[in-house]
Structure 1
Amino acid sequence: MKLSITNLTKTYKNGVKAIDNLNLEIGTGMFGLLGPNGAGKSTLMRTIATLQSPDSGSIQFGEINVLKDKMALRKVLGYLPQSFGVYPKMSAEALLDYFATLKGVKSKTDRETLVKEVLEITNLYEVRKKEVAGYSGGMKQRFGIAQLLLNNPKLIIVDEPTAGLDPAERHRFLNVLREVGTNCSVIFSTHIVDDVKELCNEMAILNGGRILQHTTPTEATEAIKGKIWTRIIERDELESMEATFNVLSSNYNQDNTLNIRVYADEQPAPEFRTVAPQLDDVYFIALKSDTEVTA
């Protein structure tokens, strides 16, 4: 099933235009929505999930007119927000059984089978008797995936799910999400470029409520091949480099020098050497271009 968003706009009472005439199509598989904090990602996710209404525009998921038939969308939706709030003092098993009841699974046997299945998918079966309130951040995120799988969703929305997770928890969470995202549409909203690079077969860069680029990670990096250059500089040279070249990023070396990455069609100066492009470069190019256009 395909998600089609057409001419979507949302402006808050304080005048902030969170979604600006946005158009986007998302098919089956993992779709990465990449953008900085405040880009409008969460507003877009909440709007698709029918938790708030836009000022104008339309959203279609398969045969469902999302804005006119919110309940039809909710029946096939799995949504994992940025934060859950406070969990009651219940075990994962008991809490999932309760959620399954709320979602209309009346048979106790069916609920037991379903709960066992989602706990195994999310690698939480061994800690099913433990209170969710005592779970680590990564375990809570995986529990979030478990609860949204209870209604066999066709559309899954996860909003900034790896923020605050340590590397091991992040890796486990991404593996779970990769497994569940093979047969449905998954929108993965994040400001972490590596999450999109590791997980998504398609992506869009969002800023100021607008889609700056809609592509695939492979196509995006291929498009700037031979245009990313690097050199090592002293720290006090950075300002002059930024004034002279299109510096995308800078990283410290162990000796406190900086390694800068520059975007240019041709070698900027003899000291620069070309390097393989990364998805981070694509992201920074899009954001810098947008800043220059809107400045």
Structure 2
Amino acid sequence: MNVPRGTVELTGVGKRYGRKHALADVDLTFDHGVTGLLGPNGAGKTTLLRIVATSIAADSGQVRLLGRDPHGSQADVTAVRRELGYLPQELGYPSDMTAFGFVEYVAVLKEWNDRERRVREVRRVLSLVDLTDQATVRVGRLSGGQRRRVGLAQALLGDPRLIVLDEPTAGLDPAQRADLRRTLSTLGHRSTVLLSTHQTEDVAALCERVVVLAGGTVRFDGAATDLVATAVGRVWLADEPGDDALVSWRTGTGRHHVVGGTPPTGADPAEPTLEDAYLLMLGPDAQRLRAPA
């Protein structure tokens, strides 16, 4: 499947909740591939994803999805939603439905009217998220991670051209997260995948592109390797935490991982991680994410 460039185009997009600017003049274009959104709580990530998922409308600016204005007409928004898969941060699950029944219910809403094809598709997406053995279990009896995978399965129905995932790895164990990475990596070859996460290791392992949001504005937009490069020469291992470090913490070796500031006496340069670069990109806001040791 060929996906046109500019699958998602946001120009001057703004959104307010009362006096708070959730997004302010955001300009972003997304094509096929996997893009990770990073940012502290309240940065605007969920608001941006909800706009792209047609769940809410922007207050200002222009939004084009799959070449259409999603709020131009009912026909436009319907056409976009037919090619959209969305996993919100919170998804309500009727506890009396089975995993299969819930995903099939969503498939019916998406107009999979041929029952034989619909059943095959539901089985396919449940297999993608490793829930074949749990298909007949009621959602209320599944673990939190399993319910999250049910939500992911419904987002993958129909092999959508645009996939929007808000915290898809929440509640998943390391093996499940690795499986999810493999699935999304494959999807990124033919679809536009946007995902929000607090797990920088997931972004480092999966995403070709990273967008850092803070205070409703874009702090960084580029390749993950380019973000890491911004932290070169600004990270050390030391015996002391560092008097003016942005953040530091004691590692399992007994030494301190020091990010930002001036190198403590006797410090050794350390190869930066994506998390280090992300914390430095946030600046003082990073102290709310990780307290100094």
Same fold (TM over 0.5): yes
Which one has a bigger Cα radius of gyration?
1
1:237-284 Cα deviation digits (max 9, x unpaired): x5xx44xx3x233222458x66041336xx745422211111111111
SS of the residue aligned with 1:219? helix
Partner of 1:282: 277
Change (3 A) 1:95 1:224: closer
Whichever residue aligns with residue 97 of structure 2, its letter is M
Change (3 A) 1:121 1:143: same
SS of the residue aligned with 1:251? strand
Partner of 2:20: 16
Partner of 1:62: 66
1:72 Cα deviation after fit: 2.3
Identity of aligned residues (%): 34
Change (3 A) 1:268 1:107: closer
Query: Can you give the 5+ residue segments of structure 2 that lack an aligned partner in the other structure?
Result: 287-293
* CA distance in structure 2 between the partners assigned to 1:41 and 1:231 by the alignment: 34
Contact 1:58 1:67 in 2 (8 A): no
2:269 is aligned with 1:262: no
2:40 is aligned with 1:36: yes
TM-score (normalised: structure 2): 0.86
**Aligned match for 2:194, one of 187, 191, 214:** 187
* CA distance in structure 1 between the partners assigned to 2:127 and 2:257 by the alignment: 45
Partner of 1:84: 91
Whichever residue aligns with residue 167 of structure 1, its letter is P
Q: Map 1:110-259; keep pairs closer than 5 Å.
A: 110-233=117-240, 241-242=242-243, 245=244, 247-253=245-251, 259=256
State which drifts further: 86-95 or 54-63: 86-95
Runs of 4+ in 1 over 4 A off after TM superposition: none
Change (3 A) 1:10 1:230: same
State which drifts further: 180-189 or 35-44: 180-189
Contact 1:142 1:176 in 2 (8 A): no
1:31 Cα deviation after fit: 0.3
* CA distance in structure 2 between the partners assigned to 1:172 and 1:134 by the alignment: 22
1:7-60 Cα deviation digits (max 9, x unpaired): 0011112x1100011111111111000001111111111111111121101112
TM-score (normalised: structure 1): 0.86
SS of the residue aligned with 1:147? helix
Change (3 A) 1:254 1:105: closer
Contact 2:13 2:61 in 1 (8 A): yes
Change (3 A) 1:270 1:75: same
1:91 Cα deviation after fit: 1.8
1:66 Cα deviation after fit: 2.6
Contact 1:138 1:173 in 2 (8 A): no
Whichever residue aligns with residue 22 of structure 1, its letter is V
Aligned length: 279
Contact 2:235 2:257 in 1 (8 A): no
Contact 1:22 1:210 in 2 (8 A): yes
Partner of 2:290: none
Contact 2:26 2:218 in 1 (8 A): yes
1:219 Cα deviation after fit: 1.8
RMSD: 2.3
Contact 1:139 1:169 in 2 (8 A): no
* CA distance in structure 1 between the partners assigned to 2:92 and 2:249 by the alignment: 36
SS of the residue aligned with 1:65? coil
1:164 Cα deviation after fit: 3.7
* CA distance in structure 1 between the partners assigned to 2:152 and 2:52 by the alignment: 18
